[in-house]
Amino acid sequence: MTTALSAFQVQCLRVIGRLDAEREQTPYGLGIKRELEARYGQEVNHGRLYPNLDDLVEAGLVEKTALDKRTNGYRLTQRGRDTLLDGLDAYLEDVAAFDGHHDLDAHVRVDGDAS
């Protein structure tokens, strides 16, 4: 089943995945909010964030757990990880088609910066 996601929801998935990989604690709402704000360069209000997180949980892309009485933790499910990887594959195919090349490695230096 394919789930149509908004750009904001995709950013939420990316942030949850990154925070989970970089830290030893489960990503939680305010931590996700701060990271999104850093990416967007503006405030992300609670009325936007939490309904979108709930939609991602309902879609089976994110698992929500209670960390304490006031704080929920969020982790990507396997389906959430697969969704991000599918999006990356589609993006790389688009770039390759646009660029006229199928060898993207020739355009990326070892440090990951585009040449």
Instruction: Answer whether 34's CB lies under 8 Å from 81's CB.
Output: no
pLDDT band at 25 (very low <50, low <70, confident <90, very high): confident
Q: Which helix (H) or strand (E) holds 63?
A: strand 62-66
Range list of H helices, 59-114 = 78-99
Q: Determine the pLDDT at residue 106.
A: 54
Q: Determine the pLDDT at residue 60.
A: 97
Longest dimension (CA), the chain: 53
pLDDT for residue 105 is more than 80:
no
Mean pLDDT for the chain overall: 85
Looking at per-residue pLDDT, the higher value among 77 and 106 belongs to: 77
Place of tokens 């757990």: 65
Domains of the chain in start order, with CATH, are 7-104 (1.10.10.10)
- Condensed to tens digits (0 to 9), the pLDDT of residues 34-76 reads 999 999 999 999 999 999 999 999 999 999 999 999 999 999 9
Distance between CA atoms of 79 and 76, rounded to whole angstroms?
Answer: 8
